């Protein structure tokens, strides 16, 4: 079997009613003729939406095909035992040019009960935000199902939602069950479980060109919602140059942030997992053995589990998200 190596992938672009043009304008991606590109799926093992390798002898192979063939060598033995042939993380860029629906995702237990694969815990890292951009994350007061339904039925749901002003670098962890919505003017890096299950709660009463409103999932959402009130929803973190600082540590993924201003050696030999390097700002070179891989904002590089060491060289500065499963 030939040696595994760092993989680059071709993105999948998604037209959305709330999408815009930032993925083309700011990340210089070729989104084709899409007028409202809402998402770029950078790394996906979602059934029917696989990303394809674009470099090396495995060019044109689907992500899950790699997992099936290389198993623990690619994803790590423990990860393969847990998730099998499906790659367990979906990585996206989201351009919200308008409000996304207020929505919620199921956890693993509920998703399994409903035959929809895995649940969906996710996180957002704000790559760019327009002035006064905001999003919804969680509730702003104590509510229960009866209170929630009363506000929903009277079209006053926004009154009990927690609105957050956002700026570049903000982080939000969104476990399954937390009600949320992205607002206009944000470009988001999203790390999530491999799942495309969303329960749409409220869609701002909008309709498409034919006058049709999008499907809502009121009943499905009821069993999924976590009504817990939290004192804060934005994730605090330190940003230390040339050091991996943890943003999210969960059973589903760990995400660190790296602000690079100088070359950095990374040793992953103690980690039984793949590593995703997601460039969110600037550009960076990843050196492995005698090979080099360029990363610019909006690109990911997948390091198989068997790769133990790489060198990261920013040009001249770069911000990376480093993602793996512990």
Say if residues 23 and 40 touch (Cβ distance below 8 Å).
Answer: yes
d(CA 9, CA 214): 31
b (16+ CB within 10 A) / e for 48-83:
eebbbbeeeebeebbbbbbbeebbbbbbbeebbeeb
Say if residues 314 and 295 touch (Cβ distance below 8 Å).
Answer: no
DSSP 3-state percent helix, strand, coil across the chain (nearest 5): 15, 40, 45
- Dihedral sign from CA coordinates of 171, 38, 67, 287: negative
Catalytic residues: 200
- Dihedral sign from CA coordinates of 199, 42, 163, 211: negative
Best CA proximity match to 244, nearest among 319, 325, 189: 319
């Amino acid at each position: 079997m030939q040696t595994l190596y760092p993989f680059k992938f071709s993105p999948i672009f998604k037209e959305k009613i709330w999408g815009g043009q930032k993925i083309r304008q700011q990340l210089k991606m070729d989104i084709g003729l899409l007028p409202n590109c809402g998402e770029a799926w950078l790394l996906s093992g979602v059934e029917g939406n696989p990303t394809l390798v674009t470099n090396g002898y495995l060019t044109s192979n689907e992500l899950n095909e790699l997992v099936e063939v290389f198993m623990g060598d690619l994803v790590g033995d423990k990860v393969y035992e847990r998730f099998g042939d499906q790659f367990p993380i979906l990585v996206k860029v989201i351009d919200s040019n308008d409000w996304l629906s207020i929505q919620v995702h199921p956890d693993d237990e509920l998703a399994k009960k409903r035959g929809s694969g895995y649940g969906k815990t996710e996180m957002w890292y704000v790559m760019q935000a327009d002035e006064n951009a905001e999003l919804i994350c969680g509730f702003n007061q104590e509510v229960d199902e009866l209170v929630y339904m009363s506000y929903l039925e009277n079209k006053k749901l926004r009154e009990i939602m927690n609105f957050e002003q956002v700026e570049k670098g903000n982080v939000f962890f969104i476990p399954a069950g937390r009600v949320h919505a992205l607002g206009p003017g944000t470009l988001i890096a999203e790390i999530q479980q491999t799942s495309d299950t969303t329960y749409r709660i409220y869609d701002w009463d909008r309709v498409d060109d034919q006058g049709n409103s999008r499907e809502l999932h009121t009943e499905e959402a009821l069993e999924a919602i976590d009504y817990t009130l939290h004192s804060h929803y934005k994730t605090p973190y330190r940003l230390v140059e040339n050091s991996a600082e943890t943003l999210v540590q969960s059973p589903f993924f760990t995400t660190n942030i790296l602000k690079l201003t100088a070359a950095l050696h990374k040793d992953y030999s103690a980690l039984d997992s793949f590593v995703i390097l997601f460039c969110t700002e600037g550009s960076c070179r990843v050196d492995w053995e005698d090979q080099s891989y360029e990363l610019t904002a909006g690109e990911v590089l997948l390091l198989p589990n068997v790769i133990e060491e790489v060198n990261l060289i920013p040009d001249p500065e770069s911000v990376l998200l480093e993602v793996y499963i512990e």
